[in-house]
Structure 1
Amino acid sequence: MTSNLGTANEFIARHIGPNSADEQGMLHTLGFDSLEAMTAAVIPESIKGTSVLGHADGQSEADALAALKTIAARNVLFKSFIGQGYYNTHTPAPILRNLLENPAWYTAYTPYQPEISQGRLEALLNFQTLISDLTGLPIANASLLDEATAAAEAMTFCKRLSKNKASNAFFASVHCHPQTLDVLRTRAEPLGIDVVVGDEFALQDTSAYFGALLQYPASHGAVFDYREVVQRLHDGNALVAVAADLLALTLLTPPGEFGADVAIGSAQRFGVPLGFGGPHAAYFATRDAFKRDMPGRLVGVSIDRFGKTALRLAMQTREQHIRREKATSNICTAQVLLANIASMYAVYHGPAGLKRIAERTHTLTAVLAAGLDSLGVPVLNSTCFDTLTLNTGATTAALHEKARAQRFNLRQIDATHVGLSLDETSTQADVEALWGLFAEGGRLPDFNALVAGPISRLPQALLRRSGYLEHPVFNRYHSETELMRYLRRLADKDLALDRSMIPLGSCTMKLNAASEMMPVTWAEFGNLHPFAPASQSQGYQQLTDELQAMLCAATGYDAVSLQPNAGSQGEYAGLLAIRAYHRSRGDSHRDICLIPSSAHGTNPATAHMAGMRVVVTACDARGNVDVDDLRAKASQHREHLAALMITYPSTHGVFEEAIGEICALIHDNGGQVYIDGANMNAMVGLCAPGKFGGDVSHLNLHKTFCIPHGGGGPGVGPIGVKSHLAPFLPGHAALENTTGAVCAAPFGSASILPITWMYIRMMGGAGLKRASQMAILNANYIARRLEEHYPVLYSGSNGLVAHECILDLRPLKDASGISVDDVAKRLIDFGFHAPTMSFPVAGTLMIEPTESESRQELDRFCEAMIQIREEIRAVENGSLDRDDNPLKNAPHTAAELVGDWAHGYSREQAVYPVASLMDNKYWPPVGRVDNVYGDRNLVCACPSIESYQDV
């Protein structure tokens, strides 16, 4: 009798879609008898065997969760009074359950296809309205990465727009958060910007600066009246950015009302957990005149083809792919999931609820201050919202020890000063416990007597008098029933990975397993302040140490930094490491970055931000880097060559044979090789960039390593480097290396790192290798099934692609008038998100199925594409009208179906083009959205409620 008592790891089979029978069938279609044989035909000989991942078995889901729980238990959760831009908050339970933990929200992709994204677009429009209302500025974007990087974006924004064109100096208030100043310095140095930190009230010659950054309230708590300062800066032709606390703005005059040109900050305290620093949604708001220069994404209001209100991303979205090195920013992601949490926090509480939270927080702070005054403790700021700075002199170190003995963390300002910040979770007991630290066993102040007195520390001249959040959306959904239904209604409008395959090339929309997601909401990871003492974050230290080792093994690099909180930030940190390396060797003149014409648009934008000059190199007819052109330009710029940025496998979806030669010739000419890790999903376990010539790569943990896309963020973009670049990885004031921070928190978006830890731990080396192989198999299966219907534009030397394939629709456009946009919109009628459109080649579709999709889903997608080809053929032969056909009119809504039908094709063909849709039909809420109308009539805050017919 055979024993069946082993604890087999079933996770690999749960993660990978095709079963063994499906695998053999697909291999047969491709003409191979094994997965290894197919892999050998795809991977170039020159890089085979470079993987150092190993073949260790993965753990079961239960075992991995238990191991991670043990690690999490090493984090010690003290009550935090640190503040400094990070605050305890309550995530409302219906938002936690129905949004943060709901795959309909966290598996959605960036809303580039607006017809299937109306729900998350509405949530983001709510976020923009929230920010615009609270800041008093008319235009707000749909979030940025964190407060510090938003401040850096504000600095370069001011540089572009300021009338002081000759100035390279940016003034930053000494009252700004320290981490913000650190990131400003990092971002400024390669651009030749001089960050001058000082007291704004002592500022003399304001004409010396192109811009300024102020903090409101100040980092140490004071609430300053900035009206006169802003006027003097404007008189000197400087633009003014204000980093403002959103909760405080419910009580204080907003920056837009005292003259600020830009407001930036964090929405973290609106229901988003501390998470050891992230992910958190930053915000950016500005004047209407500056809207076309604003970084990041902007949700705008347009109409669909029926004239119905419809939302879309507007204007400069993903401008990097158009403007490249002339782009104003390399940011191509946001923090959508976190922005949506913050927006729903405001929807749930409403204006009265937010004000109540703010007033309670301030009242407790004022009571705390009054009690400290009575105890003889010097409180240095006479005004405040939620933060106090105390002069504690020689007792400071002992005070911190005493606080920690009672499981409190106070802010460590310096050797003689302590900071205290309260928040919505603070209580009377907290205030009395803090008094107890100073009372030396004596009688505590009378809390109730102090509350009853006039104790406000808000300046009367700065009290807010303008209204906010008056739109009905912020005044209706205050019961849990209403909010639950609102969130469900929005989710039902959208198409996410929980409904169907999202075949986006280069975006790797793979499974985000439930067991990977569960630890994100564990208190041990979610409730830790990023600046808590290291002794309290030993669990995070173990997690990050182990994850760095895992990623080194997956890539072949020697060291990893987890700080960059997006792929764009990883690119930037990687080029900064190369730049610093050259400068350390006396080669500061090396500033040429070679970038193939096929590269992601973020690459040239990043190179520009890193102070490099971009030289574009050619690609050949097969989409590969033109090695002769690369060699010529590397030789031409030999004395100034800093780096090559190259994506591998290529942006065209093939493993280029010459990658080893390419890396060697760059090194021979004194440069470093940056290998963009966007397509790492084809390499893990098969080949390693750190072993076949790369010096640095960023990894998209939200692609290859299973962190969900969240509707357009969060993401994590760590970088791996060879040992000679390790000294130049990003630093932070909280780390041993204290310089070169690229984002606000030392480990970036730390609270979502357990997702990747779980994925790698459960897959093991063998599972990760198999995932890469199956991703390649699925892509080649689709390419083979569709090649007789659509030309596959590029392939490798054996006629195979990597993990994605490009279908060329240009010949069909010439023959039928049907465009790539028409095919993309028609796919919505079949219940599919479109593949990547017109990138890297205009008029094409780039398809990446990932390893997570079953053969049944792959076949369903192929059948949809084949049926669409038949419809195009009907247009070509005249059976369908060239202008009135299912493709030109797609997508079709339910409202159109029940109305008057004036088309030359049937209702059934429009909405049920294949029989399987009868059992599972997705109905788009709007018809095709009019992009031109939206840009000409830009509205980026909630329109009147009458325009929402279904709200």
Structure 2
Amino acid sequence: MSDVGTPLAQLQNHAEFVGRHIGPTTGEQAQMLAQIGFDSIDEFIASVVPPHIAEHAPLALPDARTEVDALKALKALAAKNRRFRSHIGTGYYDTHTPNVILRNLLENPAWYTAYTPYQPEISQGRLEALLNFQTMITDLTRMEIANASLLDEATACAEAMTFCQRLSKSGSNTFVVSTDCHPQTIDVIRTRAEPLGIEVVVGDAAQLCRNSKYFGVLLQYPATQGDILDYAGCIANAHERGALAVVSADLLALTLLKPPGEFGADVVVGTAQRFGVPLGFGGPHAAFFATKEAFKRDMPGRLVGVSVDRSGKPALRLAMQTREQHIRREKATSNICTAQVLLAIIAGMYAAYHGPAGLVRIAERVHRLTAVFAAGVGKFGFTVQQQTFFDTVTIVTGAHTPAIHAAARQHAINLRVIDDASIGVAFDETTTAQDVETLWSVFAMTGTPPGFDAVEPYVFRAIPKALLRSSPFLEHPTFNRYHSETEMMRYLRRLSDKDLALDRTMIPLGSCTMKLNAAAEMIPVTWPEFGGLHPFAPEDQTEGYRVMIEQLEQMLCVITGYDAVSLQPNAGSQGEYAGLLAIRGYHASRGEGHRNVCLIPSSAHGTNPATAQMAGMEVVVVACDRNGNVDVADLRQKAEAHSAQIAALMITYPSTHGVFEEAIRDLCDVVHRHGGQVYIDGANMNAMVGLCKPGQFGGDVSHLNLHKTFCIPHGGGGPGVGPIGVKTHLAPFLPGHSALPSRRAGAVAAAPWGSASILPITWMYITMMGAAGLRQASQVAMLNANYIANRLAPHYPILYAGKHGFVAHECIVDMRPLKEKSGITVDDLAKRLIDYGFHAPTMSFPVAGTLMIEPTESESKQELDRFCDAMIAIREEIRAVELGQGDVRNNPLTNAPHTAQDLAAEWVRPYSREQAVFPLASSVESKYWPPVGRVDNVYGDRNLVCSCPPLSDYAEPHPDEVETARAA
């Protein structure tokens, strides 16, 4: 044996992250390449990516870092942030995330790796949690129906504006916004109104409601500077003029204040952030949207409803799924196609954990601290502007204003800058009596501040009696049972056990890129240095965030070939919107504001035409050829016909059909020759990173889905981040913000950097992968997709392929010929996959009757083979029906999924129990049991229930209840 040891560099290679992120080993990749007919990965990629767009030079990024090194580097950046006590308010408040929710929900991959609950049978846990959220919102607002969350408060207000425009009978094109609304809300409202030709008038709402003609009015409750105003008269005036009234309300305040539903509001919106969701420098946070049941079909976003499964057992599902209005394409009234599910669930569980009495105690305590502070600060000669308030007051400080801010900074306190002569002070759940005394010392320019105990006994409530809440809320058992940590921990476990998430199985959803969300990427999200910062904290306190954001912007520029990036859009849909606004602004700056035609291929995701409509553009559809590619001749013809009006072409690349279109440069050139800009949808960027760059082969702007390609988890349907990259000429038109005066364009999100607290996930991913690792990830993602296509091709038709017969990162299985022969539908196959322990691929998109499969690079060969084995076994079950060996209406597919309750009942089906629930030997060891059978969507829509029914109707009995029943 040699005395010479193994070189250190070779030993360190074992710590690299790349090999842990990418599923197949080098040897397995060689086997898969051989299966599809190649000797090397480079040879394979050359047959998939068109040579005229291929990039061969390595990405100009640093080498990969280990998990330990990357976390250490990011921790050093986080340490540059300074976490002051925030009294800024304006819709953002510090809060305590209960540890049982932090550990068992926010930090639990069973919750954060789940997908949108389109397959209800395997989503009953998160659907129940969202139903809790909806119930919480309707109870606190006293409205009749609420959705399952929106992106942020400002976006919800903007959605409410267009909602009112559709429903109002006023005949006006004016929307009134109270000056008492938060500045960031007014900013987003103006951005959204301008392309639609809506006139926004900001002013005294009471006066405008009496004297103006308008279709809707937006009111803040309590007002941004703290006042509690009685809006009943204003709303009555609005209704007299055929207008609708929107109230943006504080949820915690509504535990004490008269809810807007009781004084005539048509819509109530707001944020659930202060219900246990960290500040996170602005996001992600769950907004809410509640309205009257009569308006339910016009409400944006998702809606969870109660239905039944095939056995009559109560079951949940997304109700009226066409309300996801992007499905209506250019006729859509919104492009919202995501929610903030994970954050909404946190907020709902926060309410369940504290219960109604606990929430009232928190609210009373916050209000008490505010009132005591206001009483004490008055002793220093300062005037408190508000007679009535909940948690925020405005102090008239005159010439002392700069000195007070300086004193506050010395005490590591941030106060709200209102103007040169007044200061805002907001209180929250985390504030203490000591904080109040410290604030008094800040305001005490002369003299000694009083002690808290000396002031408190003489302080009264500052809420007007006429606006005190008298109606009950959160009476459902869910909000009155889980107040101990044991009970909440078990409740969260019971719900997560009902679901299939990425921690249990591959989720092969085409276009959705459900890849590994590594633990090392997730860890920084809950660091207080990132989670505890207010979005409007001064720049000198947020250096770590700003450096991290700048580094991430530069990384994304390198990867995409663009010159500038904005991280503000907090969803892919908002990235699309920001991209088209940049194009719109560019044309207007050149005196070509008349350009308003957006060319969109017929295969495009529905958000594309919906977004174009929202940006004030006219959609012209471009045909696709028989191979699924954009019809170049039709594009030329449409471009010629609309030459003077073309604003943009929106195209997804690789295509929605999962192939690299050879003519992409030609398509871009056609549009550029006619004066248009090219928007390349980055939904499928996972096939391009390190291999080609949209900013180099013709794109002027692209949005990226950080919750797809760049590893931010889907969280059951949100959060997401949809930044845009642009070429230099579009950079001046990137989203701005009222807090960022240096940028020219308006805001598309409430916070300057959108969902800032989850950006470290992508920073960690890129840092740990490095240039070579990112390229390898794209290569293996396409290898995995082609391996699946190769294995399934003898059994199922594969619908589209590229020039050389290969797909890109996803493949489409065509079920239509099999349905004609057997009667088995794509829905039957999807539900049968549940019995095999898999989430279904994307159904009927982009082609009805098909399944779109995307394995990503993170799945091992063993998991790919397990999935293929399941699909092949299901094909044999279909074949049995084709050959008459199985009943057309009573077979394992049409009856799928099979529940444990099915097995316990009398078995009268023409196939065995074993075939029903253990169709493959591999399914025995770790069997997933769906909690409900196939859900009846039609029944649910006809009998719409969107808040919690009696718990016994849809939840498993609690063990204590079972024991009580036995004893009786």
| TM-score normalised by structure 1 residue count | 0.99
Q: Tell me what 1:174 maps to.
A: 179
- SS in structure 1 opposite 2:902? helix
* C-alpha separation in 1, matches of 2:399 and 2:813: 71
* C-alpha separation in 2, matches of 1:445 and 1:237: 52
* C-alpha separation in 2, matches of 1:885 and 1:911: 13
Q: Tell me what 1:548 maps to.
A: 553
Q: How far 1:50 sits from its partner (Å)?
A: 7.1
Tell me the amino acid that sits aligned with residue 427 of structure 1: T
Q: How far 1:640 sits from its partner (Å)?
A: 0.2
Q: Tell me what 1:828 maps to.
A: 834
* C-alpha separation in 1, matches of 2:436 and 2:33: 67
Q: How far 1:448 sits from its partner (Å)?
A: 1.9
Q: Tell me what 1:793 maps to.
A: 799
Tell me the amino acid that sits aligned with residue 404 of structure 2: L
Instruction: State which of 203, 206, 213 in structure 1 corresponds to 2:208.
Output: 203
Whether the 8 Å contact between 2:16 and 2:64 is mirrored in structure 1 is no
After superposing the two structures, state which structure 1 stretch, 605-614 or 39-48, moved more. 39-48
Q: Equivalences for 1:762-781 in 2 at 5 Å?
A: 762-781=768-787
Q: Tell me what 1:708 maps to.
A: 713
Instruction: State which of 322, 330, 333 in structure 2 corresponds to 1:328.
Output: 333
Tell me the amino acid that sits aligned with residue 4 of structure 1: P
Instruction: State which of 463, 466, 480 in structure 1 corresponds to 2:468.
Output: 463
* Cα deviation digits, residues 254-312 of structure 1 (max 9, x gap): 00000000000000000000000000000000001001100000000000000000000
Q: Tell me what 1:475 maps to.
A: 480
Residue 162 (str. 1) matches residue 168 (str. 2): yes
Q: Tell me what 1:933 maps to.
A: 939
* Cα deviation digits, residues 713-752 of structure 1 (max 9, x gap): 0000000000000000000122221541001000000000
Whether the 8 Å contact between 1:825 and 1:890 is mirrored in structure 2 is yes
Instruction: State which of 115, 121, 124 in structure 2 corresponds to 1:115.
Output: 121
- SS in structure 2 opposite 1:432? helix
* C-alpha separation in 1, matches of 2:5 and 2:636: 62
Q: How far 1:72 sits from its partner (Å)?
A: 0.3
Whether the 8 Å contact between 2:326 and 2:337 is mirrored in structure 1 is no
After superposing the two structures, state which structure 1 stretch, 448-457 or 36-45, moved more. 448-457
* C-alpha separation in 2, matches of 1:460 and 1:446: 29
- Aligned pair count reads 950
Q: Tell me what 1:634 maps to.
A: 639
Whether the 8 Å contact between 1:270 and 1:342 is mirrored in structure 2 is yes
- SS in structure 1 opposite 2:75? helix
Change (3 A) 1:785 1:583: same
Instruction: State which of 189, 202, 222 in structure 1 corresponds to 2:227.
Output: 222
* C-alpha separation in 2, matches of 1:851 and 1:886: 31
Tell me the amino acid that sits aligned with residue 584 of structure 1: S
Whether the 8 Å contact between 1:87 and 1:269 is mirrored in structure 2 is yes
Q: Tell me what 1:146 maps to.
A: 152
- SS in structure 1 opposite 2:131? helix
Q: Tell me what 1:559 maps to.
A: 564
Q: Tell me what 1:352 maps to.
A: 357
Q: List structure 1 runs of 4+ shifted beyond 4 angstroms.
A: 204-207
Instruction: State which of 528, 533, 553 in structure 2 corresponds to 1:528.
Output: 533
* C-alpha separation in 2, matches of 1:739 and 1:662: 29
Residue 909 (str. 1) matches residue 941 (str. 2): no
* C-alpha separation in 1, matches of 2:356 and 2:7: 60
Q: Tell me what 1:11 maps to.
A: 17
Whether the 8 Å contact between 2:280 and 2:533 is mirrored in structure 1 is yes
Residue 188 (str. 1) matches residue 193 (str. 2): yes
Instruction: State which of 240, 249, 256 in structure 2 corresponds to 1:235.
Output: 240
* C-alpha separation in 1, matches of 2:36 and 2:577: 40
Tell me the amino acid that sits aligned with residue 805 of structure 1: C
Q: Tell me what 2:878 maps to.
A: 872
What are the ranges of 5 or more consecutive residues in structure 2 without an aligned counterpart?
Answer: 958-968
Tell me the amino acid that sits aligned with residue 666 of structure 2: E
* C-alpha separation in 2, matches of 1:206 and 1:650: 52
Q: Equivalences for 1:468-867 in 2 at 5 Å?
A: 468-735=473-740, 736-737=742-743, 739-867=745-873
RMSD: 1.0
* C-alpha separation in 2, matches of 1:236 and 1:779: 58
Change (3 A) 1:858 1:120: same
* Cα deviation digits, residues 654-688 of structure 1 (max 9, x gap): 00000010001100010000000000000000000
* C-alpha separation in 1, matches of 2:102 and 2:382: 40
Instruction: State which of 275, 286, 310 in structure 2 corresponds to 1:305.
Output: 310
- SS in structure 1 opposite 2:52? helix
Instruction: State which of 249, 256, 260 in structure 2 corresponds to 1:255.
Output: 260
Q: How far 1:322 sits from its partner (Å)?
A: 3.1
* C-alpha separation in 2, matches of 1:738 and 1:72: 29
Q: Equivalences for 1:237-386 in 2 at 5 Å?
A: 237-317=242-322, 319-386=324-391
Tell me the amino acid that sits aligned with residue 318 of structure 2: L
* C-alpha separation in 1, matches of 2:577 and 2:77: 31
| TM-score normalised by structure 2 residue count | 0.97
* C-alpha separation in 2, matches of 1:619 and 1:285: 40
Q: How far 1:445 sits from its partner (Å)?
A: 2.5
- SS in structure 1 opposite 2:315? strand
* C-alpha separation in 1, matches of 2:204 and 2:818: 64
Tell me the amino acid that sits aligned with residue 48 of structure 2: V
* C-alpha separation in 2, matches of 1:945 and 1:796: 52
Tell me the amino acid that sits aligned with residue 322 of structure 1: I
Whether the 8 Å contact between 1:308 and 1:926 is mirrored in structure 2 is yes
* Cα deviation digits, residues 86-109 of structure 1 (max 9, x gap): 001000000000000000000000
- SS in structure 2 opposite 1:208? coil
After superposing the two structures, state which structure 1 stretch, 315-324 or 64-73, moved more. 315-324
* C-alpha separation in 1, matches of 2:65 and 2:101: 31
Change (3 A) 1:17 1:178: same
Q: How far 1:207 sits from its partner (Å)?
A: 5.5
- SS in structure 1 opposite 2:8? coil
Q: Tell me what 1:65 maps to.
A: 71
* C-alpha separation in 2, matches of 1:207 and 1:116: 51
Residue 75 (str. 1) matches residue 78 (str. 2): no
* Cα deviation digits, residues 382-415 of structure 1 (max 9, x gap): 1100000011111111211110011000001111
* Cα deviation digits, residues 172-195 of structure 1 (max 9, x gap): 000000000000000000000011
* Cα deviation digits, residues 916-937 of structure 1 (max 9, x gap): 1110100000000001001111
Q: Tell me what 1:389 maps to.
A: 394
Change (3 A) 1:633 1:2: farther
Whether the 8 Å contact between 2:732 and 2:744 is mirrored in structure 1 is no
Change (3 A) 1:161 1:428: same
Tell me the amino acid that sits aligned with residue 726 of structure 2: V
- SS in structure 1 opposite 2:414? strand
* C-alpha separation in 1, matches of 2:57 and 2:731: 20
Change (3 A) 1:14 1:793: same
* C-alpha separation in 1, matches of 2:153 and 2:517: 27
- SS in structure 2 opposite 1:307? coil
Whether the 8 Å contact between 1:301 and 1:934 is mirrored in structure 2 is yes
* C-alpha separation in 2, matches of 1:575 and 1:382: 45
Whether the 8 Å contact between 2:62 and 2:767 is mirrored in structure 1 is no
* C-alpha separation in 2, matches of 1:339 and 1:717: 19
Whether the 8 Å contact between 2:209 and 2:237 is mirrored in structure 1 is no
Tell me the amino acid that sits aligned with residue 229 of structure 1: C
Q: Equivalences for 1:876-915 in 2 at 5 Å?
A: 876-915=882-921
* Cα deviation digits, residues 129-165 of structure 1 (max 9, x gap): 000000010100000000000000000000000011x
Q: How far 1:318 sits from its partner (Å)?
A: 6.0
What are the ranges of 5 or more consecutive residues in structure 1 without an aligned counterpart?
Answer: none
Whether the 8 Å contact between 1:51 and 1:554 is mirrored in structure 2 is no
